[in-house]
């Protein structure tokens, strides 16, 4: 079970059985994961230029003024990652993020697929390198469960309870609804919870929890992994159930411009709703159940 690489046995049981809606801190034993991701990981995969440029982000909220993200052209040469340029940003205090490592590192690819088989949820993996005393990302929230695994160094995680319940990628996602005054309110009130993550510890961070991670008090580089696990939702089931409607001719019928612009639109909506209800009632759920289960285990890019 690949979840055991991230969490101890009781953490895996709690995750699969309860899917907690509050953060949890766990002590984990060293596993095969630590043989593949160690303190030299960024030397191997980032500064060598092995990771695709599209998956690299460079940010520094400790800069004056803050520079949330560097244009990739600043650390590329001839369309590829330039390790020397990337290292120069790191030496200036920038955080380096390597994204979607499940697409790049064979061991992590296997882990990702195993976790999907264990949960029915697709997932992705980012790795972060933050120099001591620095900060990459500031306050934000995510729309999926995250397991934070500290590999080396330390990182502080200041957490606030969710502002919105059960955010999703297309609904209440942090960048879509952000108001800068919230950051001032959170900093004024202080965090609801704070964790100083050490090597060998994992933090379970449910979706929606505001977090402000930083290495301001650290004395050495911080490397952590974020395993983002995309929960399946009732909306996903609804999307899956209705996806086949395109095969029915009545759903491919053109709505004329005059019907959209005129008074007939409401009648069109009523008709479409009736047709959709009829379509759903005709579905054979016994037949669809194994198909949807197989999709949950194989669909790689679903975004909750």
**pLDDT higher than threshold 60 for residue 166:** yes
Q: Are residues 106 and 30 in the same domain?
A: yes
**Is the Cβ–Cβ distance between 241 and 283 less than 8 Å?**
yes
Confidence of residue 138 (pLDDT cuts 50, 70, 90): very high
Average pLDDT, rounded, for the chain: 94
| Residue 304: inside a domain | no
Predicted pLDDT at 302: 57
Give phi and psi for 158, each to the nearest 5: -90, 125
Interatomic CA distance for residues 195 and 24, integer angstroms: 10
Confidence of residue 303 (pLDDT cuts 50, 70, 90): low
Interatomic CA distance for residues 204 and 198, integer angstroms: 14
Q: Are residues 24 and 126 in the same domain?
A: yes
101-129 mean pLDDT: 96
Predicted pLDDT at 240: 93
Q: Are residues 206 and 244 in the same domain?
A: no
**For residue range 40-89, what is the model confidence (pLDDT) as tens digits?**
999 999 999 999 999 999 999 866 676 678 999 999 999 899 999 999 99
pLDDT above 90: percentage of residues in the chain: 89
Q: Which residues are paired to 214 by β-bridges?
A: 156
Rounded to the nearest angstrom, the gap between the alpha carbon of residue 148 and the centroid of all alpha carbons in its chain is 11
**pLDDT higher than threshold 60 for residue 304:** no
Predicted pLDDT at 61: 87
Interatomic CA distance for residues 79 and 224, integer angstroms: 27
159-177 mean pLDDT: 92
**pLDDT higher than threshold 60 for residue 130:** yes
**pLDDT higher than threshold 60 for residue 163:** yes
Strand order of the β-sheet with 155-160 is 193-197, 155-160, 210-214
Cα distances (angstroms) measured from residue 175 to each of 153, 186, 192, 207, 214: 29, 17, 22, 14, 19
Give the pTM. Answer: 0.93
Confidence of residue 146 (pLDDT cuts 50, 70, 90): very high
**For residue range 230-283, what is the model confidence (pLDDT) as tens digits?**
999 999 999 999 999 999 999 999 999 888 887 889 999 999 999 999 999 999
**Is the Cβ–Cβ distance between 119 and 16 less than 8 Å?**
yes
Q: Are residues 200 and 225 in the same domain?
A: yes
**For residue range 152-162, what is the model confidence (pLDDT) as tens digits?**
999 999 999 99
Residues 6+ apart with CB under 8 A from 223: 37, 39, 41, 42, 127, 128, 129, 150, 151, 152, 153
**Is the Cβ–Cβ distance between 42 and 94 less than 8 Å?**
no
**pLDDT higher than threshold 80 for residue 297:** yes
**pLDDT higher than threshold 90 for residue 98:** yes
| Residue 274: inside a domain | yes
| Residue 144: inside a domain | yes
Q: Are residues 152 and 10 in the same domain?
A: yes
Predicted pLDDT at 66: 67
Interatomic CA distance for residues 94 and 274, integer angstroms: 55
Minimal CA–CA distance to 137: which of 108, 194, 175, 101?
175
Domain boundary among 207, 229, 251: 229
Q: Are residues 44 and 172 in the same domain?
A: yes
Cα distances (angstroms) measured from residue 158 to each of 146, 197, 291: 15, 11, 41
Q: Are residues 69 and 214 in the same domain?
A: yes
| Residue 303: inside a domain | no
278-299 mean pLDDT: 96
Angle, vertex CA 155, rays to CA 153 and CA 157, nearest 5: 165
Report the residue count for the chain.
Answer: 304
Minimal CA–CA distance to 98: which of 79, 72, 65, 78?
72
Range of the domain at 55: 2-229
Domain boundary among 203, 229, 255: 229
């Amino acid at each position: 079970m690949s979840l055991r690489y991230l969490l101890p046995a009781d953490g895996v049981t709690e995750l699969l059985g309860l899917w907690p809606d509050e953060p949890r801190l766990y002590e984990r034993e060293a596993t095969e994961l630590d043989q593949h991701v160690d303190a030299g990981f960024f030397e191997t995969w980032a500064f060598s230029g092995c990771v695709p440029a599209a998956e690299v982000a460079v940010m520094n909220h400790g800069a004056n003024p803050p520079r949330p993200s560097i244009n990739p052209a600043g650390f590329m040469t001839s369309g590829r990652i330039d390790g020397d340029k990337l290292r120069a940003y790191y030496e200036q205090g920038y955080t380096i993020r390597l994204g979607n490592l499940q697409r790049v590192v064979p061991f992590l690819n296997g882990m990702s697929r195993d976790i999907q088989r264990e949960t029915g949820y697709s997932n992705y993996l980012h790795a972060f390198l933050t120099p001591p005393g620095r900060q990459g990302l500031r306050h934000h929230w995510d729309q999926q469960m995250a397991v934070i695994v500290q590999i080396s160094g330390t990182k502080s995680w200041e957490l606030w309870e969710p502002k919105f319940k059960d955010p999703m990628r297309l609904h209440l996602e942090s960048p879509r609804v952000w108001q800068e005054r919230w950051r001032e309110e959170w900093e004024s009130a202080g965090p609801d919870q704070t964790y100083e993550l050490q090597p060998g510890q994992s933090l379970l961070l449910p979706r929606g929890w505001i977090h402000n991670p930083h290495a301001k008090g650290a004395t050495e580089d911080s490397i952590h992994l974020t395993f983002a696990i995309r929960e399946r939702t009732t909306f996903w089931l609804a999307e899956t159930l209705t996806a086949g409607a395109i095969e029915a001719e009545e759903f491919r019928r053109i709505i004329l411009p005059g019907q959209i612009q005129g008074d007939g639109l409401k009648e069109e909506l009523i008709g479409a709703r009736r047709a959709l209800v009829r379509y759903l009632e005709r579905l054979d759920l016994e037949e669809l159940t194994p198909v949807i289960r197989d999709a949950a285990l194989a669909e790689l890019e679903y975004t909750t």
